[in-house]
Structure 1
């Protein structure tokens, strides 16, 4: 008897060892991040003059990059957008969905257990019995626990888990990308509003100046010092300035409505007080090009998509190998509830009730080969998309570095144009009052001054927006990699 038990234990041990060796034999390809074209430095850093490649000062907030502008109104708007934007709410829901799918896949690593109680009532007719037997009825009551477990022989289950984990990481990276895009859009719309406020102030000054000029022309006309032509020209210049101010007012209303939608509000519920744009001159550290591979969420999302595609290749390859599913059930059977749980009424079933436990694929008309070829092609596609995304990231950084380098010089040159135009306008007015020139020279000089001042304000707005674009191209903030998402990050209020 001892020898029989010992022999049975030996067989069970050998079977367990064989199963364990098969479980360890995963056919999923080992994932390694493909190389991408990365340069040693950004070309635009040297072109930007005194731009630095070091990290910013430690007192600057990490992640909340907009606080570097030192604008309390912008800080408040960013907080409101992160709490109520509907696109961000949808992205948060997609992350939760991916977490649920990952949980489903991870459940495949464990057996499933279920329990139940039920009864059947059966009547067997005389035709179903032997000749001479009479029909009878019986009742069977069952209480049992069942289990099922797919042994991960060749890594199909683990590859499925790896694919969903990569998809979850991709969803989280895409959420970070949506959040960064929202933060940048809010800042850009805010600076557009402030730029329009500054233009409105310039035009308001021009309207005031031309109103005084018209009053002067009318007074001189009453004294017969000028004719009606100069009065009409002064009146036309005043009306033109007022019309341009109305155009800016219309554009501001549209920009304000766009900002309201980003904040998750109806345009009728949002109004931002007028405040002219203050010059923005931030030196944003570009860092090293290789840091973009970890910092930019869209690049991280593309890399995780590759990892998921690689895992799906393993799933397709595992379909060529046998699969083993262990099933069983155990419990009690009786003819009534009263004697159901008697020990003598115990019953069990090991193995499938129908079919087989070990399934070996033989022929499927090429379906598995087609699935494997498709999975490999999808991986190749994700590799190409990843490398392209890296190139796009580098191009966006270089574009914004070059833009801001030129804008800094252009802003100084434009200020020289404003100063010269103001001097020319002042001289032309003095010469006109002295009778040394006609009013057309005054009009031309004042038009040039107005155009120069508006161009200077516009450049300030473009510089502020360009700074936001550079921060966005760098991945937002100065963290080398985004921290893992927590529940509070996804708790966006509808």
Structure 2
């Protein structure tokens, strides 16, 4: 007992100082959530309860083609696969950190043959077998904090994996709506080209009959050529968007195809879904990237405590038991047995400033993690505000475009009527056609952007919402 009389007071002192090795966990990033979002937000929803799921928000659009693309992306997208692998690594690190807290047991069997100096040159054989046990008493809480930090890292990895999935899901939905808009845009331009070609054929016949000037024919030929060029440009653009969508779902662009469909035949074409933004304070718990940044900050705080624990002594317990004999069969006999128990208290006296530098390094990591957490909170609120602003602005723009489109259609009809009665030249009809085509395409783009803005709002909210 006397051999441990100096060990007990030292261990007790280390336990008393254990609390000094920790760091208080920060509760926020110094930002108070506002009472409401600045941009107008609706409290209504047109979405079914089934769609209010963080892992399947796209169900609100009731589009089987989109459902299939999202499912394929979650299975084959490389970003999602990388995030899942990082979660697996983080969970393995937890098990590794926990294992260090447990006793370490090893077994060994050794055989050696040697002769002794100054004695007969005849060699002898010695066989030894034994078990070794090592255990570090976690006086300062260093090992526990390491496990807690690894657990926080794993939770952050899981949240980052959810965020990676949400980013991919949002990208798939936005790209899909861009592709559908291009399909409709191409149909509008193709329809206009067909009208131009029909008018050109009639005008060429009238020119041959001497009823119109060559200028009318040349003007229509110009419109046909430029519209054909626009159609080819749309085909090229659609191929690029389709390829981008294929990469998102993990397919080779050369084998990936999405059948073109008319906009008005889509199940979601009737109205843009309404998504309530909810309370700003809820955003900090909904967004996986924000919760991940918070866990990373908390893990960094734990590691500051680990670095400070380096100033405290370490208590290691070791034990061994086994046997040694010149005959292998006698290794486990009573006469060959031996055992030992050792307790070691180690404390660094001079390390050239390594421990101090380690603390400063951990504190620097904590400062970085805190700033990144604060940045993630700011970006989260910024994403929601931008999405709400887009939705409000696009809604107003869509109403204006609808009014302009109706007026352009009426102007084109009047121009055709006046041209048939000889009141105006063909130039006025062409101007009305160009104006109607431009406004139709603008109206389509605004409608497509409304759906994309809705997807961005859902992503900004963390993929889920409440009424």
Q: Which has the larger displacement, 15-24 or 233-242?
A: 15-24
> SS at the partner of 1:361?
coil
Name structure 2 gaps, 5 residues minimum.
none
3-state SS of paired residue (1:272)? coil
- CA drift of 1:281 comes to 0.8
The aligned residue for residue 492 of structure 1 is none
CA distance in 1, matches of 2:374, 2:57: 27
User: Structure 1 residues 294 and 105 mapped into 2: Cα distance closer, same or farther (>3 Å)?
Assistant: same
1:159 aligns with 2:145: yes
1:435 aligns with 2:422: yes
Aligned equivalents of 2:12, 2:50: Cα separation in 1: 54
Q: CA deviation at 1:340?
A: 1.5
**What's the counterpart of residue 314 of structure 2?**
323
TM-score normalised per structure 1: 0.88
- Find the aligned partners of 2:327 and 2:415 in 1 and give their Cα distance: 114
Alignment coverage as a number of residue pairs: 458
Please name the residue that 1:455 is paired with. 442
* Residue ranges of structure 1 left out of the alignment (5+ in a row): 1-7, 127-132, 481-494
Say yes or no: does 1:116 pair with 2:108.
Answer: yes
8 A Cα contact 1:37 1:390, kept in partner: no
Mapped pair 1:93 → 2:85 = yes
Q: Please tell me whether residue 211 in structure 1 is matched to residue 211 in structure 2.
A: no
Q: CA deviation at 1:456?
A: 0.6
1:389 aligns with 2:389: no
Cα distance, 1:84 vs structure 2: 0.7
Shift of 1:282: 1.0
Deviations 1:246-304 (A, max 9, x none): 11111000000111111111111111100133535111111111111111111111101
- Give 1:57 shift: 4.9
Do structure 1's residue 253 and structure 2's residue 239 form an aligned pair?
A: yes
2:53 — aligned with what?
62
User: Residue 295 of structure 1 contacts residue 479 of structure 1 at CA under 8 Å; is this kept in 2?
Assistant: no
The alignment yields a C-alpha RMSD, in angstroms, of 2.3
Note the 1:278-289 alignment, pairs <5 A: 278=266, 279=269, 280-289=271-280
In 2, Cα distance between equivalents of 1:176 and 1:23: 40
Partner of 2:365: 378
Q: For 1:103-143, what per-residue CA distance to the aligned partner results, in whole angstroms no more than 9, with x for missing partners? A: 111111111111121211121121xxxxxx54453322111
For the residue of structure 1 that corresponds to 2:311, the secondary structure is coil
In 1, Cα distance between the equivalents of 2:256 and 2:182?
A: 17
- Distance in 2 (CA, whole Å) between partners of 1:101 and 1:429 is 75
Per-residue CA deviations over 1:164-208 (Å, capped at 9, x if unaligned) read: 111111111111111111101111110110000010111111012
369 and 453 in structure 1: CA distance in 2 versus 1, 3 angstrom threshold: same
1:154 counterpart SS class: coil
Task: Report the alpha carbon displacement of residue 402 of structure 1 after superposing the two structures with TM.
Answer: 0.9
Q: Which deviates more from structure 2 when the two are superposed, residues 333-342 or residues 65-74? A: 333-342
Q: Which residue number in structure 1 is paired with residue 254 of structure 2? A: 268
1:421 Cα deviation from its structure 2 partner: 0.6
How high is the TM-score relative to the length of structure 2?
0.93
Aligned to 1:72: 64
- 1:337-393: CA deviations, max 9, x gaps? 2111112211112227xxxx2111211121111111221122122112211210111
**1:19-66 CA distance string (max 9 Å, x none):** 58855734222323234331111122xx24xx1178965333412001
1:185 and 2:171 aligned: yes
Q: Which moved more, 1:372-381 or 1:81-90?
A: 372-381
CA contact (8 A) 1:54 1:286 kept: no
8 Å CA contact 2:72, 2:249 repeated in 1:
yes
Determine the C-alpha separation between the residues in 2 that align with 1:268 and 1:143: 64
- Rounded to whole Å, the distance in 1 between the matches of 2:332 and 2:434 is 101
What is the DSSP-based 3-state SS (H/G/I as helix, E as strand, rest coil) of the residue aligned with 2:49?
coil
CA separation in 2, counterparts of 1:55 and 1:339?
A: 83
SS in 2 for 1:298: helix
Following superposition, the deviation at residue 426 of structure 1 comes to 1.1
Q: Does 1:347 align with 2:338?
A: yes
